[in-house]
Amino acid sequence: MTTALEQTLRNTLRDWYAAIHRHDLQTVATMLTPDFRIVEHTEVLDKAELLARLEDGMAYGTQSSKLVDFKAQSHGDFAWATLRNCEVWTPNDAEPPMDLEFVETVMFQRMDGQWLLAHYHATNTNPLPPPDTAA
């Protein structure tokens, strides 16, 4: 059974991904706490670094996201959720779309009555192989 909290947090995350899909960086930024951090693959990015990365990627395509197995809990003004994020990256060129799946943990903080993303950890379940560096 989905709780009201789970539905609220899921909607928050869906809205965030919808803003990314629309290339709406202003909305993406307003949904993050000032001290936001994301851990993805082997990198730790702060809010400014993530926004720059997203802006760079927008020149190459769009991504869509489907959130599944979403479970959430809270304590006061903090909440956390675990989920699977099934993404599709659609390049602007003739390349076919790429399916990606992540196992994720998202920390939320309620500020001024609004749930914001505070910390994000994403592990790609099928990472791309490293580039061939053989000479």
Residue ranges covered by each domain of the chain: 4-124
What is the DSSP secondary-structure string of 5-69? HHHHHHHHHHHHHHHHHTT-HHHHHHTEEEEEEEEETTEEEEHHHHHHHHHHHHTTEEEEEEEEE
Per-residue pLDDT of the chain (135 residues; tens, 9 = 90+): 679 999 999 999 999 999 999 999 999 999 999 999 999 988 999 999 999 999 999 999 999 999 999 999 999 999 999 999 999 999 998 889 999 999 999 999 999 999 999 999 999 998 666 666 554
pTM of structure: 0.88
What is the fold, at CATH topology level, of the domain defined by 4-124? Nuclear Transport Factor 2; Chain: A, (3.10.450)
